[in-house]
Amino acid sequence: MSEQQNWVAMGYIKGAFGVKGWVKIHASTEFSDGLLDYPQWRLVKEHQTLAVDVEEGKIAGDELQVKFAQINDRDAAALLRGYTIEVPRETFADTDEDEFYWVDLVGMSVINRDNISLGKVKNLIETGAHDVLVIRGEYGEKLIPFVSHYIDNVNKDTQQIQVDWGLDY
């Protein structure tokens, strides 16, 4: 695993499970078991980084449980509590047209139809009905629903999103 890769946080380790080195995971993905699509993870906490290989994983109730090849007992697993799970962005599956990973939208500039810069995407919020862009710029914070009614264009090459959104909304 290269340090040059673009690493994306995908969840964190909540604690140990059982006596054979399994850990409980909080996944920040649409489906918790989606993390199992990535066989190698980087774990990061403070100034410590560990490379781990996923040996096995399963869903138990609403929780993801994972066994790493390098971890074989409860004590070693317990030491991983609080580590952030990262995977290389380059390993993500391709998206369909008009589908985007949140990580790709964060940091993009947002302009309206009058070519006025509203700021940059700082985050997204999942509301259940649709996702909402959180934009911060010189006109304050704006929350723009990420739906075709308001989003005119997303240009990955220029890192810019054009929206139908006024300054007074």
Lowest mean pLDDT across 45-54, 90-99, 145-154: 90-99
Q: Is the confidence at residue 42, as pLDDT, over 80?
A: yes
Regarding whether 62 and 21 lie in a shared domain, the answer is: yes
Same domain, 82 and 149: no
Mark whether 154 and 126 lie in a shared domain: yes
- Residue 169 located in a structural domain: no
Average pLDDT score, the chain? 93
Number of domains in the chain: 2
Of 91, 111, 137, the domain-final residue: 91
Q: Do residues 83 and 27 share a domain? A: yes
Give mean pLDDT, residues 9-26.
96
Question: Which tens digit of pLDDT belongs to each residue from 63-81?
Answer: 899 999 999 999 999 999 9
2 in any annotated domain? no
pLDDT band at 93 (very low <50, low <70, confident <90, very high): confident
- 150-159 long-range contacts, Cβ below 8 Å, gap at least 24? 152/113, 154/98, 154/100, 154/105, 154/108, 156/104, 159/107, 159/108, 159/109
Do 29 and 75 have their domain in common?
Answer: yes
Range of the domain at 142: 102-163
Q: In this structure, are 110 and 130 located in the same domain? A: yes
Average pLDDT over residues 20-27: 96
Better-scored residue on pLDDT, 134 or 128: 134
Mean pLDDT on 149-162: 96
DSSP string, 93-142: PPPPTT---HHHHTT-EEEETT--EEEEEEEEEE-SS-EEEEEEETTEEE
Look at residues 64, 91, 118 and tell me which one is the last residue of a structural domain.
Answer: 91
What is residue 4's predicted lDDT score, i.e. its pLDDT?
Answer: 59
Asked if 38 and 85 sit in the same domain, the reply is yes
Residue 30 binned pLDDT confidence (cut-offs 50, 70, 90) = confident
Q: Does the residue 35 lie in any domain?
A: yes
Ranges 79-83, 95-99, 100-104, most confident? 79-83
pLDDT of 135 over the 90 cut: yes
Strand-pair partners of 68? 54
CATH number of the domain residue 151 falls in: 2.30.30.240
Q: Which of 68, 91, 114 is the last residue of a domain?
A: 91
Q: What is the mean pLDDT of residues 114-127?
A: 95
pLDDT attached to residue 86: 96
Residue 128 confidence (pLDDT): 85
